[in-house]
Structure 1
Amino acid sequence: MSHSNSMQIGLSKAGFYAGLNPFVTLASKAIIALIVLYAVVFPEAAVGTLSDLNGLLLKTFNTYYIYAVALFLMFCFGLALSRFGKVRLGRDDESPEFSFFSWFAMMFSAGMGIGLMFYSIGEPLYHFQSNPALIQSGQEGGTAAAVPSAMRYTLLHWGLHAWAVYVSAGLCMAYFAFRKGLPLTIRSTLHPLFGDKLNGPLGHVIDILAVVATTLGVATTMGAGVTQLVAGVEFIANTGVLLDAEGAPTATALIITLLLVMLLSTVSALTGVTRGVKWLSQVNIYLSIGLLAFFMLAGSSLYSAALFGTSVMDYTLNLIPLTFSVWDSSTELGAWQTGWTILYWAWWIAFAPFVGLFLARISRGRTIREFIVGCILVPSLICFVWMSFLGGTGLDLELNGQAGGAIAQAASDNIASVLFVTIDLLDSGVVAQVVKMASILLIITYLVTSADSGVLVLNTIMAGGNSDALAKHRVIWGVILTLMVGSLLLAGGLGAIQKAMMIGALPFSLVMILMCVSMLKSLLQTERGNQPVAQPA
């Protein structure tokens, strides 16, 4: 059953916007231009407005965010275990487009790359000082007893929930595009609910929400990556000019770094997904394995291996309370939850059109069960290994006194520098310099992959699902992304981008819930196999 004839996403036939939907493109540009102008012309007012609005939304919607992400997790595992798990994302006889290794390499580096570099040591060390379990029990942070709960909350943020958000979006898009023949875009996924109304303003609004959320999600990742890149270069070169008195990157350093990264990502985006992104993804995987190997050999490998086993077990046993616990945002527990868990849930939702569309594009021919299990369990396990070996080494260095508080201090002062502080503690010679340089290369390749995949996805949504957007539009959106990241970083640092992203993720989260309902409706009506399907009244 195909709905393709009834989806008419109005694309320009000629002119500057040929091949794109002019309304979606122009409205998205207008919204982003307003944010950029506000941040450039009135930086202090912009940061104040973002903080006030964000605070209001968090007070009102913190419970909603927790339950929405719990819903996505249940949606994925429910489908994987159901009889619909055998349904293929494509024709019944279609085989997967990419080999397992290529498939896995691409989904991993697009989804979590920069976050793993930025938070892998800093986050466990931060939770080691304070987390909900410590707050509730009145235990002191910074002791061996604080390690299990520190790891439990780190794995919560980087594990099944994050990937369930991506997979929920990606699965809905892949199913309606490859199985039902609709354009590969967000609005197609709501066809069973709204039908031909999606050809008009309703469909445009849905795609605009996706474009704005994606731009802000990618901007948050870019902001984190650029900040860490500057900190890393300063650590190696000791110039004394790249960081200010607080240890944050200076405006000049940020802008130069951003421009270089965007230049590289534009070149990569112009070569298209199969060449540029695939090659970069594989470089990322090898460099990541190299960095992990360094921590396994030079770091606290036995401690970290044991930590991996106990942390995964602890996380699994606590999965239900971790998934559903909500605390009043005016309490200490609530403040912790909004500053960490809710921020992450919003980030993953803002990232969902981007990673989801990317996962969909590389997963044609897989079954629903393969897609869910492959894209949730495998990356989660990799993240757990990464967090355990890098984070575990940081924790061990603090516990055995070798770090003398240096890593914990960096985690609370300037999380971007934690990775480099830790590498210096493990080795002070040539090896450390090589590893730091490899880390910088890894951050650059992750940034470039995120930026060019992001630009590709934005253009796909605006082109009604066609992924071969003209080169000029890829370049334009690369510039827009740079302006967005640069203006918000200069106005209020990484915090300003995160707040804008949390606001932008909220409306899109409602679209995602509707996407899941829509897919269930379609599966129940059209994928019953030989059983008679009850006709809708």
Structure 2
Amino acid sequence: MALEPPLTDLPIKTAERGFYRGFSIDVTVVSKVIISALVVWAIFWPTESGRILGQLNSVILENLAAWYIWTVALFVIVCLGLAIWPTAARMNLGVEGEKPEFSNFSWFSMMFGAGIGVGMLTWAVAEPVAHFGNNPEVIQGLTTGGAADNVRMAYKWSFLHWGLGAWACYAVCGLALAFFSYRRGLPLTIRSSLTPLFGASLSGKIGHLIDIVAVVATILGVAQTLGFGVEQFVAGLTRIGIGGLMNADGGATTVGIIVALLVIMGASTLSALSGVGKGIKWLSNINMVLSIVLLGFFILFGATFFGAQNMVLGLFDYLVALPELSFNVWTSDGVEGSEAFLLAQWQGWWPVFYWAWWIAFAPFVGLFLARISRGRSIREFVLGAMIVPALMCFVWFAWAGGTAIDLELNGDANGVIFDAANGDKIFAMTEFMLAPIAEFLAWGMALLIVVLLMTFLVTSADSAVLIVNTINAAGDEGPKARPHIIFWGSALGLVVAGLLISGGTSAIQTAMVIGALPFSIVMVLMCVALIKAIYNDGRREAQGIPTLAEQSSTPAE
């Protein structure tokens, strides 16, 4: 069968007038109804919603753990394969000769800030500490929890969850969107990435469904990040002297949650109204600079040698174990307390949860990456979007988490860090390090972390609002009507508030794992579609057939 030029036109019906002018009513209204129903359900029927969500989560973890684990392994393979494949690697995500809009520093700053920056301030300390206490090697009796022989295992598992797998989820989605939007001239929305498989039919109900799934996954994925961030933000406000926001157990009170969300979502909505080139770029550069200052503090005044050693050893252990860890699935024998049961349970709590989180976060970060990566080659995009941010995560874990473990191993901290709530661990550690020198130094560092956390949270939230509006507007980055920005900013805040108040972060985790499942199917199809498109483009180029939107307008794939 003779090759034809690719599909370069995918009309998506949008309203021409009224409140929804410029937006796809089918996608926007249905998405709003689903999210609004979730908010009402979680707030007014917290017990019932918690029970049903928990049951659905148990079914997914028991039956679909392998799906999540093998799917993320596929994403890593596809990304690395595209970077190596000569036909794909050299292709420009734009017209031939087009140059990137943003400098490398701004590009990396926005990627890191929107993609994972919030999590670093909570989990760079909390996760190595958690795995230091327990991990599969401890369960199997190979190492001892809380002892020196378990340090390397703590870093191996931390690096797995925040390494290539996490960023491959983002890269697959971002690469597919950038390829079909900037080379094909198709709308910058999720459905465009599946045109090699479904063609022009994506203009209709199939395409609407795909975009709705992406919007719901985005809201739930970002809600997960904001949920962790809000609790840490409240802990930070308490550390700098604002009382009444935390309860006796170290968790955020309802008042604390509301105050934090009003501050964060208010600032993020204002930033979203200014767009990517202004507010988000400006905030991303600020949080990158503050991140370097904070990380520099841990490297220079924390466990300098201990962190460097664990960076090297942890990276070695991670890369050696990566092939096995990417495909291994533990199956429970149903006997509570048995080794098989505990291993399967641990895998559900950690790798499966993380893979679901990254997949749910992928439509948001992927579309955002596509938006800021126009003009870069596929190889440059893959290496930049996977390896550089992953290394940044490893550095954070090595020195921030390494400092916490070193202080506790030496007996100096005496449980001050380990006993603190996850969101409060970084504050407890910096206070332990600085308070003996001068109280104002500890207060100043807590203030810096609060400001950094807020810039990360605002960057994530305002980026998410813009991305959701872009999907709802059929990929058009122009019509960002203020009422819709305000609605999605408010909706995101209410989802977080409702789930936190009714069931804490566990309720958000459960909703997010469930919401990620349908989008994981979309992402697998993205991989197939992208490989098919690149392969056919290579054949087209060999035959002199146009492959770019500016060269052809023939609607075929």
Normalising to structure 2: TM-score of the pair? 0.93
Name the counterpart of 2:425: 418
Aligned twin of 2:246 = 243
2:196 maps to 1:186:
no
Aligned to 1:117: 121
Listed one character per residue, the Cα deviations across residues 372-428 of structure 1 (whole Å, up to 9, x for unaligned) are: 011101001111111101000011011100111222222xxx211111111111110
Question: CA separation in 1, counterparts of 2:144 and 2:317?
Answer: 20
| Letter in structure 2 aligned against 1:460 | T
Q: CA deviation at 1:182?
A: 0.4
2:477 maps to 1:467: yes
Following the alignment from structure 2 to structure 1, what is the Cα–Cα distance between the partners of residues 19 and 505?
34
2:80 matched to which residue of 1? 77
Whichever residue aligns with residue 285 of structure 1, its letter is M
2:191–2:202 Cα contact (<8 Å) kept:
yes
Supply the distance in 1 between the matched residues of 2:259 and 2:327 (Cα, whole angstroms): 43
1:101 aligns with 2:105: yes
Q: Is the 8 A contact 2:167 2:385 kept in 1?
A: yes
AA matched with 1:488 = L
Native 8 Å contact 1:2 1:182 kept in 2: no
Give the corresponding residue for 1:504: 515
Amino acid at match of 2:431: D
Deviation at 1:245, TM superposition (A): 2.2
Matches within 5 A, 1:387-406: 387-406=397-416
Q: Is the 8 A contact 2:161 2:351 kept in 1?
A: yes
Question: In 1, distance between residues paired with 2:360 and 2:95?
Answer: 30
Q: 2:455 matched to 1:445?
A: yes
Distance 1:72 1:171 in 2: 11
Name the counterpart of 2:268: 265
The Cα of 1:260 is off from its aligned counterpart by 1.3
Cα gap change, 1:144/1:18 in structure 2, threshold over 3 Å: closer, same or farther? same
1:227-267 deviation line (CA, Å, top 9, x unaligned): 1000111122162x221121111001111110111111111
In the alignment, residue 450 of structure 1 is paired with which amino acid? S
Distance of 1:3 and 1:128 partners within structure 2: 52
- Counterpart check, 1:41 vs 2:48: no
Superposed counterparts of 1:202-217, under 5 Å = 202-217=206-221
Match of 1:17 in 2: 20
- Cα distance between partner residues in 1 of 2:171 and 2:242: 42
**Displacement after TM superposition at 1:4 (Å):** 2.9
Tell me, in whole angstroms, the C-alpha distance in 2 between the residues paired with 1:160 and 1:203.
Answer: 29
Shift of 1:3: 2.1
Matched residue type, 1:10: K
Task: Give yes or no for contact 2:239–2:443 (8 Å, CA) kept in 1.
Answer: no
Partner of 2:240, secondary structure, is: helix
Structure 1 residue 2: Cα displacement:
4.9
For residues 159-178 of structure 1, the aligned pairs below 5 Å read 159-178=163-182
> Paired residue for 1:28?
31
User: 1: distance between equivalents of 2:245 and 2:110?
Assistant: 32
**CA offsets per residue over residues 469-513 of structure 1, 9 Å max, x none?**
222211111011111111111000111011100000000000000
Instruction: Provide the rounded CA distance (Å) in 2 between the counterparts of 1:28 and 1:177.
Output: 23
Q: d(CA) in 2 for partners of 1:194 and 1:313?
A: 42
> Which residue matches 1:228?
232
Match runs of 1:48-87 below 5 Å = 48-83=51-86, 84-87=88-91
Secondary structure of the structure 2 residue equivalent to 1:438: helix
Match of 1:407 among 417, 426, 443: 417
Partners of 2:168 and 2:64 in 1: CA distance: 20
Structure 1 residue 356, shift from structure 2 partner: 0.3
Displacement over 6 Å in runs of 4+: none
Q: Contact 1:4/1:183 (CA < 8 Å) preserved in 2?
A: no
For residue 480 of structure 1, the aligned residue among 469, 475, 491 is: 491
- Shift in Å at residue 532 of structure 1? 4.3
Q: 8 Å contact 1:525–1:533 — kept in the other structure?
A: no
Unaligned runs of 5+ in 1: none
**CA distance in structure 1 between the aligned counterparts of 2:193 and 2:411, rounded to whole angstroms:** 54
Letter in 2 for 1:313: F
Distance 1:133 1:32, change over 3 A: same
Consecutive unaligned residues of structure 2, counting only runs of 5 or more, are 335-340, 546-555
Mapped to 2, the partners of 1:139 and 1:285 lie a distance apart of 37
TM-score, length basis structure 1: 0.97
3-state SS of paired residue (2:419): helix
Q: Which range is displaced more, 131-140 or 458-467? A: 131-140
Q: Identity over aligned residues, as a percent?
A: 47
Q: 1:2 and 1:449 mapped to 2: Cα distance?
A: 36
State whether residues 114 and 225 of structure 1, in contact with CA within 8 Å, keep that contact through their aligned partners in structure 2: yes
Deviates more, 1:98-107 or 1:383-392: 98-107
